[in-house]
Amino acid sequence: MLAYLVQMASFAAITALMALGLDLIWGLGGMANLGLAGSAAVGAYAAALLGVKLGVAWPLAWLAAALLAAGSGAILAGLTARLRGDYLAIVTLGFAEVMQLAASNEVWLTGGTGGIPGVPAPWRGSLHGLAFDAAFAALAWGLVVVAALLLARLGAAPFGRVLRAIREDDTVAAVAGKRVLRFKVRAFAAGSALVGLAGALGAALEGFVAPDSFSALLTLTVVLALCAGGPGGVWGALLGGVLVTALTEATRFAADALPAVSAVQAAALRQGMIALALILILHLRPAGILPERPRAIPKELR
Amino acid sequence: MIAIAQAIVNGVLAGAALAVPAIAFTTIFAVLRFANFAVAGFATLGAYGGWLVNTRLGVPAVPALLGACVAGGAAAVIVDEAALKGLRRRIRPGEAALAPAIASVAATLLLENVARFLFGNDPQGYDLPVFRDWHIGALAVGPQQLADAAIALVAMTALFLFLGFTRAGRTMRAVADNPGLAALKGIDAARVGRIATFAAGALAGLGGMLIGFDTSLDPLLGFRVMLSVFAAAVVGGLGSIPGAVAGAFVVGLGEEMATLVVDPAYRTAVGFAAILIVLSLRPAGLFGERTA
């Protein structure tokens, strides 16, 4: 039971890290990103391939994962940031699908649908069982805290203020002399980096990557985490990561407990539940459990 | 040479089938001004609805297409009323409608899993007469594909007649063109929105069943062709119905031509490439006007 909870803590950290990345892109920047699964796939496969095929040490492999995800995010945002947000939604959705397609079909590189086994993780050789899980969970939450601190700092800094201004009205921000495109691309790249890093963490935790993990369900799970917690702030993403992990695990038990339901039907119920939860949250609590509070006006302006 | 000619024939036939759900996606964008990704889910449910009518009630495949239209249209209206309309109302004018778009992705996942729960993951087949390919010179044409393309053309013609010559069609165009002025003229935008949603869902369902004829029917049917459908709409210009038709032929031809040089598994990636190229060079698409 304890081992299970510790593992869930790691999963919650990974979801929270992705939610923090989405928070920067969507919560602060107001840009739709329906391609989180694609960024996570880029990160996971980069880390797995560097670790397994080239024997790169995990810190370097994770860094490369984040950078590659950031680069692909910057390209997507750069192409669409001048257009209405609907286009970014379409492009990011397509990006995720193409990444999954490539992961399934470039068998020489990715092992196809069979995936890549034996992805290295920190302390996998030296620690075992609960000690490994606990160390991993501590490392994952450590990264989440660092990312959250950075994001909180960024949100309060001029960069965050400009980003919020762009979210509210990018014409006004442009008139005020802000280079809207540059801010959008940077925020998108930085957010994608966090998602890519989370992907690398997931690959290390499972010791395995496969294309199945990077479907639209992953994207919606992270969107659900951020929406439930509350976009725009840091605490919302953290709370959302924990809540959504708890929800997906609870639905696993609930679906297993139902009699007269086949395995396929149980899986359908679980996925449908996530989708339904997201639709309900968007209607009932669009600002999340921990809504973003408007910032106080600085003293000198009052 | 023969291979290229064959790819052109296949591409035109594929484009005709693709045009139907692409029109559905672009119609909703034109009238309700948001990207309704649940079109993929309507296509899947429509395909299953038609399959039930076809295999359980024993209705021949072509009349059973009506079942697909009804199932797709009903799914679209229910999803819109229950899950999307309320979110759309909160969007300020001129703003991109992100919350309804995200909810529509969730709706697609929900519909996909409704189909999975009811019918399982295994691919199903329609009761179709089996024809041998026709050979014209060195070219092979499947009678089924030809019939699908003809059905798609009939559906498109019906839509153009509806939009051009009926009162409901004309009010729909008025709302798409200028919602403020349409409201001033006493047009009930909510009612027009419902009609557009049903029509789009019906077309998506029909398109889904045509795709099912050509491949097979499983819960991921809509999701698999989704990227090609969106690509067709974006290439033609989001919100333009003639654009969606032209875009569908461009994407259909592009996908078939691309399979000459790349692995056929990547055919939907061609759609993605088309989106990126169009957005970089001419974001308004072939026929579109509104981009900002």
ipTM of the complex: 0.90
* 3-state SS assignment for residue B124: strand
Q: What is the torsion angle, in degrees rounded to the nearest 10, for the CA atoms of residue B81, residue B85, residue B87 and residue B88?
A: 170
Residue B192: which domain range? 19-222
**Closest of B285, B263, B267 to residue B276, by C-alpha:** B285
- Determine the residue of chain B that is closest to A272 in CA distance: B110
Cβ–Cβ under 8 Å, residues A216 and A228: no
pLDDT in tens, B31-41: 999 999 999 99
At A254, list the tokens. 């609930």
Domain assignment of residue A75, yes or no: yes
B234: pLDDT strictly greater than 90: yes
Q: Give the DSSP letter string of A168-196.
A: H-HHHHHHTT--HHHHHHHHHHHHHHHHH
Q: Do A271 and B109 touch (CB under 8 A)?
A: yes
- Which residue among A84, A220, A269 sits closest to B106, beta carbon to beta carbon? A220
CA-based nearest distance B2→chain A, Å: 27
Q: Do B35 and A90 touch (CB under 8 A)?
A: yes
Domain assignment of residue B24, yes or no: yes
Q: Do A269 and B276 touch (CB under 8 A)?
A: no
**Closest of B163, B203, B156, B157 to residue B36, by C-alpha:** B203
CA-based nearest distance B25→chain A, Å: 12
CA-based nearest distance A160→chain B, Å: 20
- What pLDDT does A176 receive? 84
Spans of chain A below 70 pLDDT: 295-302
Cβ–Cβ under 8 Å, residues A200 and A66: yes
Domain assignment of residue A287, yes or no: no
Average of per-residue pLDDT across B252-264? 91
Domain assignment of residue A180, yes or no: yes
- Determine the residue of chain A that is closest to B98 in CA distance: A32
Q: Phi and psi dihedrals of A169, rounded to 5?
A: -165, 105
Q: Do A216 and B109 touch (CB under 8 A)?
A: yes
- What pLDDT does B131 receive? 80
Q: What is the torsion angle, in degrees rounded to the nearest 10, for the CA atoms of residue B15, residue B172, residue A32 and residue B225?
A: -20
- Which residue among A83, A89, A91 sits closest to B291, beta carbon to beta carbon? A83
- What pLDDT does B67 receive? 96
Chain A residues inside the 8 Å CB shell of B292: 83-84
How many angstroms from the chain centroid is the CA of residue B159? 13
- What pLDDT does A298 receive? 65
Rounded to two decimals, what is the model's pTM? 0.91
Chain A residues inside the 8 Å CB shell of B86: 283
Residues 111-140 of A with CB under 8 A from B: none
Distance CA(A47)–CA(A37), nearest Å, equals: 15
Residue A111: which domain range? 2-213
Q: Count how many domains chain A has.
A: 1
B288: pLDDT strictly greater than 80: no
CB-based contact, A75 to chain B, within 8 Å: no
B291: pLDDT strictly greater than 70: no
Distance CA(A216)–CA(A8), nearest Å, equals: 21
Report percent pLDDT > 90 for chain B.
63
Domain assignment of residue B260, yes or no: no
State the greatest distance between any 2 C-alpha atoms of chain B, in Å, as a whole number.
59
- What pLDDT does A294 receive? 72
CB-based contact, A282 to chain B, within 8 Å: yes
Q: Which residue has tokens 């890290």?
A: A17
Cβ–Cβ under 8 Å, residues A58 and A204: yes
CA-based nearest distance B138→chain A, Å: 31
B192: pLDDT strictly greater than 80: yes
Q: Do A101 and B279 touch (CB under 8 A)?
A: no
DSSP character at residue B81: I
CA-based nearest distance B212→chain A, Å: 21
Q: Count how many domains chain B has.
A: 1
B95: pLDDT strictly greater than 80: no
CB-based contact, A284 to chain B, within 8 Å: no
pLDDT in tens, A119-143: 988 888 788 888 899 999 999 999 9
- Which residue among A79, A89, A279 sits closest to B98, beta carbon to beta carbon? A89
> In Å, what is the CA distance from B162 to each residue of A106, B167, B169?
46, 8, 5
- Which residue among B98, B266, B280 sits closest to A105, beta carbon to beta carbon? B266
Domain assignment of residue A241, yes or no: no
- What pLDDT does B129 receive? 83
Residue type for position B66? L
Cβ–Cβ under 8 Å, residues B287 and B239: no
Average of per-residue pLDDT across B117-137? 88
- What pLDDT does A225 receive? 94
> What SS3 string covers B176-230?
HHCHHHHHHCCCCHHHHHHHHHHHHHHHHHHHHHHHHHHCCECCCHHHHHHHHHH
